[in-house]
Structure 1
Amino acid sequence: MARYEALGLIETFGLVFALEAADAMCKSANVELVGYENVASGYISVIVRGDVGACRTAVETGIAAVEGMEGGNLYSSIVIARPHQDLEKIIKRYAITNLITE
């Protein structure tokens, strides 16, 4: 199992804001877009991973991108440094590769 030092997550209301956040996150730092999930009633979470500094930069940039949009609605965000290895069980469910095959 690959070891990643951090996870970065942003949750927004609406696909347009989630896409803007994901685009900004991936362009701003050396992170890998893991996937996304439509959590409930239009709330969408975007997940990236990489080293701690890159995830912090990516999340901060994603937040700024959403807040800079008219009507931008950021629900929550977090950076988890050194996540426990068992979180991989959850992350795999939302990986883009799994979403494509479903």
Structure 2
Amino acid sequence: MYALGLIETVGYLTAVSAADAAVKAADVEIVGIEKVIGVNGSLGVTIHFSGDVAAVKSAVDSGKEAAERVGKVISAHVIPRAHSEVAGKLLPIFKLEKKPAAQEEINE
């Protein structure tokens, strides 16, 4: 893992807008998602990105900007080189599972 980028939003639509803008802006991969029911029943969604430092920074900036046009961004942050304890033990909890190739074709 080169860098870890995080964008935390209120609401799923805001998170999807952030993720879409981020992956269009730079060569990054969405590696995880975290959904939490928060204060007053709002859905908090954090999108996790990985890539080289410059790409993740650009992606997070673009994603945050797009998300702010749609809804509320709680925070956005880039960790240039996440420690192996974070990358190896904490992040796998939120890792996205890959769909089988046949399922991806059906969804397209």
TM-score, normalized by the shorter chain, greater than 0.5: yes
Structure with a larger share of its residues in helix: 2
Task: Letter of the 1:40 partner, please give it.
Answer: I
Pairwise CA RMSD = 1.3
Equivalent residue, structure 2, for 1:12: 9
The 1-side partners of 2:37 and 2:80 are apart by 26
Q: Deviations over 1:23-42 (max 9, x none)?
A: 11111111110011113321
Instruction: Write the distance in 1 (CA, Å) between the matches of 2:16 and 2:85.
Output: 27
Normalised by the size of structure 2, how large is the TM-score? 0.82
- 2:50 maps to 1:49: yes
Q: For the residues of structure 1 that align with 2:37 and 2:50, how far apart are their CA atoms?
A: 23
Measured against aligned partners, the alpha-carbon deviations of 1:15-67 in whole angstroms (never above 9, x if no partner) come to 00001111111111111100111133211100000111001000000011011
**Distance across 2 between alignment mates of 1:39 and 1:55:** 23
Amino acid at match of 1:91: L
Where structure 1 has 5 or more consecutive residues not aligned to the other structure, the ranges are none
How far does residue 68 in structure 1 lie from its aligned partner after superposition?
A: 1.8
**Counterpart in the other structure of 1:28:** 25
Secondary structure of 1:82's counterpart equals coil
- Point out where structure 2 has 5 or more consecutive residues left out of the alignment: 100-108
The answer for the alignment partner of 2:97 in structure 1 is 97
Letter in 2 for 1:11: E
Question: Secondary structure at the residue paired with 1:97?
Answer: coil
Structure 2 counterpart of 1:15, one-letter code: Y
Cα distance in 1 for residues equivalent to 2:79 and 2:50: 9
**Count of residues paired in the alignment:** 94
Which portions of structure 1, spanning 4 or more consecutive aligned residues, are displaced by more than 3 angstroms?
Answer: none
Based on CA coordinates, which of the two structures has the bigger radius of gyration?
2
